[in-house]
């Protein structure tokens, strides 16, 4: 517990030193809010895999599981997890780690990178696309404020943690091919599901994210290759708690637990895990995103919530989403043996939500005469032509 306590103190010190009440930048507003998160953060109560499996988890709690890769695998095989699973380096069978400096050298060979610059004035939410050699130079420059390099396409060849590798239920996001109407390969976006199923991220010391959930109800794993993170989050929140947070803009009343992630640590975040990570040092992480084929109804409920409250996640709706869920509906209806599925009742509710998602318009350029939304005198939302700017709002 000592490490988590120290990490929370280090983060608080950092926020205190950068807090400048005279500044009116967006960053300043975010620092205030992040300070509020840290103010509530405690090290929480770690439990064993056996305690987790014997317990019932039905709401906000300060418990999280600390276990080995093998124990995490048993939990994940049984059902989709409800609490975060932390596998510290000494219990992790996954040992291959990429060094940050080596990785920056690789990044230099890419044409451009998306940079979140904490020194920039104005809107922090929108990253800036910079030439890679310039972006990596900013990252290495210790005399300026922190930057985050996000949405980096996966570099590691086998990033899936050993606790998940080969567990059938968790392969569906990656394996399912979306249907396309005209037989052509569908267009992809950077934020798209197949692109982010494996990712790398780099953050300078002090870079942070306000609380958010990962998009489309994914279970996300994050492995620290190099460096240290504090990972505040709210274990055990139910969908209604997430909705209340989305509507009110207030932090949830439940406990905020600061999990420490050192080099070689792996965190498995359950679906809709509200989290707000901060880099304690310059850091390189490898992540993977998964759907659990047994928990697809919750994927749909969360995806609907994202359309209705777009600020709850830091990514736009994925273009491939509708194609993938349509394909999943077909296979689930057949009870196809490729994946384990949820109940009949869940399938019925899942199908209704697929219908709801299909209501968006499919206009190619501007929403004009033939637009379904305009015809119904309604505004376009995230269900319509994702990735294209729209005037019909």
Per CB under 5 A, residues contacting Zn ion are 361, 363, 367, 371, 373, 380, 384
Instruction: Produce one character per residue of 271-308: b if its CB has 16 or more CB atoms within 10 Å, e if not.
Output: bbbbbbbbbbbbbbbbbbbbbbbbbbbbbbbbbbbbee
Q: How far apart are CA 373 and CA 389, in angstroms?
A: 15
Q: Minimum distance from CB of 393 to Zn ion (Å)? A: 9
Smallest gap, in angstroms, from Cβ of residue 326 to Zn ion? Answer: 18
Min dist. Cβ of residue 360 to Zn ion (A):
5
Closest to Zn ion by CB, 51 or 393:
393
Residue with tokens 């992480």, as numbered in its chain: 285
CA distance 287 to 151: 10
Nearer to Zn ion, 2 or 369 (CB): 369
Shortest distance, CB of residue 379 to Zn ion, whole angstroms? 8
Q: What is the dihedral of CA 107, 112, 113, 115, to 10 degrees?
A: 130
Nearer to Zn ion, 203 or 360 (CB): 360
Q: What is the DSSP string of 353-369?
A: HHHHHTTS---SSS--T
Structure tokens at 352: 């209704």
**Could you please report the per-residue DSSP string of 283-325?**
EEEEEEEE--GGGHHHHHHHHHHHHHSGGGSSSPPPTTHHHHH
Given 3-state DSSP classes, what are the helix, strand and coil percentages for the chain, each rounded to the nearest 5?
35, 20, 45
Q: How far is the CB of 390 from Zn ion (least distance, A)?
A: 7
Closest CA to 67 of 53, 54, 48, 93: 48
Nearer to Zn ion, 257 or 380 (CB): 380
Q: How far is the CB of 380 from Zn ion (least distance, A)?
A: 3
Q: Looking at beta carbons only, is 239 or 354 nearer to Zn ion?
A: 354
At closest approach, how far in Å is the CB of 383 from Zn ion? 7
| 3-class SS of residue 171 | helix
Which CB atom, from 164 or from 384, has the smaller least distance to Zn ion? 384
* Residue with smaller CB distance to Zn ion, 26 or 372: 372
Burial degree of 78 (CB within 10 A; 0-12, 13-18, 19+) = exposed
Q: How far is the CB of 373 from Zn ion (least distance, A)?
A: 3
Whose tokens are 């109800």? That residue is 217
CA 36, 40, 41 angle in degrees (round to 5)? 110
> Which one, 238 or 372, has the nearer CB to Zn ion?
372
């Amino acid at each position: 517990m000592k490490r988590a306590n120290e990490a929370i103190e280090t983060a608080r010190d950092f926020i205190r030193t950068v807090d400048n009440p005279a500044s009116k930048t967006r960053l300043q507003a975010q620092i205030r809010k992040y300070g509020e998160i840290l103010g509530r953060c405690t090290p929480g109560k770690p439990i064993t895999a056996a305690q987790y499996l014997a317990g019932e988890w039905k709401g906000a709690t300060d418990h999280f599981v600390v276990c080995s890769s093998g124990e995490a695998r048993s939990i994940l095989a049984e059902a989709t997890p409800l609490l975060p699973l932390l596998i510290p380096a000494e219990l992790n069978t996954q040992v291959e780690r990429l060094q940050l400096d080596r990785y920056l050298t690789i990044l230099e060979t890419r044409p451009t990178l998306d940079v979140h610059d904490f020194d920039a004035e104005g809107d922090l939410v929108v990253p800036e696309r910079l030439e890679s050699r310039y972006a990596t130079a900013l990252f290495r420059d210790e005399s300026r404020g922190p930057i985050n390099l996000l949405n980096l396409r996966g570099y590691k060849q086998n990033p899936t943690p050993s606790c998940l590798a080969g567990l059938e239920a968790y392969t569906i996001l990656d394996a399912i091919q979306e249907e396309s109407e005209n037989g052509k390969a569908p267009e992809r976006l950077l934020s798209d599901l197949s692109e982010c199923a494996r990712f790398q991220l780099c953050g300078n010391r002090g870079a942070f994210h306000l609380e958010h959930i990962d998009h489309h109800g994914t279970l996300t794993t994050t492995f620290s290759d190099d460096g240290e993170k504090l990972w505040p989050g709210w274990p055990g929140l139910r969908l209604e708690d997430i909705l209340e947070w989305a509507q009110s803009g207030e932090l949830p009343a439940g406990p905020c637990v600061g999990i420490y992630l050192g080099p070689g640590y792996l965190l498995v975040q359950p679906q809709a895990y509200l989290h707000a990570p901060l880099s304690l040092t310059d850091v390189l992480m490898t992540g993977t995103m998964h759907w659990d084929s047994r928990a697809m109804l919750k994927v749909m409920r969360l995806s609907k919530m994202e359309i209705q409250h777009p600020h709850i996640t830091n990514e736009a709706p994925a273009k491939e989403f509708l194609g993938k869920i349509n394909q999943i509906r077909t296979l689930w209806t057949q009870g196809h043996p490729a994946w384990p599925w949820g109940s009949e009742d869940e399938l019925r509710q899942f199908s209704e939500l697929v219908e709801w998602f299909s209501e968006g318009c499919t206009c190619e350029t501007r929403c004009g005469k033939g637009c379904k939304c305009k015809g119904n005198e309604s505004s376009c939302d995230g269900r319509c032509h994702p990735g294209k700017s729209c005037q019909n709002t």
